[in-house]
Every structure is written in structure tokens, then in C-alpha cells.
Chains A and B, each alone.
Chain A
Amino acid sequence: DAGVTQSPTHLIKTRGQHVTLRCSPISGHKSVSWYQQVLGQGPQFIFQYYEKEERGRGNFPDRFSARQFPNYSSELNVNALLLGDSALYLCASSLATGGWQPQHFGDGTRLSIL
């Protein structure tokens, strides 16, 4: 079975542009979480979606938004990109919501802002 897949793998944008990152969870997983990992740091929680509803939001500005589709795939959108948005964006899926659920991570999308 396919694991969590993210696209694109790499992306280069300039300041002020917007970007859409995509995530397909493991088949049967209904929860998707997004994390931002800046170089040299641990990942930071951005959003969690379960059954197409937002269940959690981290300390990120409103330029960051996300949604989950009926097939449980998810998109992360970032508007008005800043240099500081350069990071690895990770998606993780789990069967259900709850911190005790094992999470399965994708390989990430590496976003570079010029």
C-alpha cells in the first residue's frame, strides 16, 4: 500500500507569491496534519484536519490555510510568501484523531522562497 504522498517534492517561489502544497494520506486514514520544519529545528504544528473539519491550528498567521477533501486528501495554502516561509512542509496522516494515534509522515515538500 502507498504511504503518505506529498507533491511537489521541491518548489521555488518568490516573495509575495502564493503556494499550494498537496498531501494524500494512507488509504483509510481520515486525519491529516501539517507541520513546518525550518532548517535545524524540529517540526512545528500548523493544522490538523479530521473528517474534513479543522480540529487544530498552530501559531501561524492567517496567510496559512488548509482544507481537506471528501477523499481525505488535503491542501495547504500559503499566501503572500515571505523569506521566512522557506522550510520543509510535512504532512502526516493517522486513522483517527487523538494524540495516541500513530502518525505516518510523507517525505515533505521543500519550499524555497527567493
Chain B
Amino acid sequence: KNEVEQSPQNLTAQEGEFITINCSYSVGISALHWLQQHPGGGIVSLFMLSSGKKKHGRLIATINIQEKHSSLHITASHPRDSAVYICAAPPLKGNEKLTFGTGTRLTIIP
């Protein structure tokens, strides 16, 4: 069992739909990262959170530390949101050794 698991693995939705991607982790963490990876490979950091909720534009990330669960939501989805979304968790102490989920491939159809 992976220490960080995401669901779903693939998600296809119509433009405008509300999107939810889930991340569960089994290790103690200091923070949880949500990342976006486009087909070219480059990774962009979207959020880093250790409690509660963060919002940036149409993106919202929430985390429940007790339940070891985080969600990434996209409101009013758009084709340009199509990408792979990855959650990653560093250890509770120490370095930036991020443990990554396998990613959720999101496709938004116009």
C-alpha cells in the first residue's frame, strides 16, 4: 500500500463542472502539497497546507489532519485545467523528501 494515495486516477468532465480530487496519506506529515503537471512535464506548486482550507482563484484545497485526508476542488472547470494533479507529503520531521501520489489525470471537455 502506498503511503500517499489519490483518487480517481483518471477523471473526465465537461467544461463548467465542479471537480474533486482526493488524497489520503498514512504517514505523519508536516504539510501536504498539491501540484499540477502539464504534458510537457514541468510541475507547478498549487498549494501547501497543514490545516484547514486554502483558496486561489477557482482552486480550493482542504485538509483534515485527523482523518489524514485532503481534497482539491476546481470550480467552473475549464479545458485549460486539463493536467495531472499530484498530492505529495513530506515527513513529519526532517528534509523535503516528498512522497508523491500517482496523480489524477484530469481532462476537461469543452
Contact with B along A51-66 (1 / 0, CB 8 A): 0000110100000000
Closest chain A residue, CB of each to CB of B48 = A102
- B41 interface hit (Cβ, 8 Å): yes
Contact (A103, B98) CB under 8 Å given A42-B86, A42-B103: yes
Number of A-B contacts (CB under 8 A): 89
Determine whether the beta carbon of B99 is less than 8 Å from that of A45: yes
Residues of B within 8 A of A103 (CB): 33, 45, 96, 98
Q: In the complex, given contacts A102-B45, A103-B45, A110-B41, what are 19 additional A-B residue pairs having Cβ atoms less than 8 angstroms apart?
A: A33-B95, A35-B100, A41-B102, A42-B86, A42-B101, A43-B86, A43-B88, A44-B100, A45-B97, A45-B98, A55-B94, A56-B96, A56-B97, A88-B41, A98-B90, A99-B93, A99-B97, A102-B48, A103-B98
Could you give 14 example pairs across A and B, Cβ below 8 Å? A31-B96, A33-B95, A42-B100, A43-B88, A55-B94, A55-B95, A56-B96, A90-B43, A98-B94, A98-B95, A99-B91, A100-B30, A100-B50, A108-B43
Instruction: List residues of B whose CB falls within 8 A of some A CB.
Output: 4, 29-31, 33, 35, 40-45, 48, 50, 86, 88-103
Instruction: List residues of A whose CB falls within 8 A of some B CB.
Output: 31, 33, 35, 37, 40-45, 48, 50, 55-56, 58, 88, 90, 92, 94, 97-108, 110
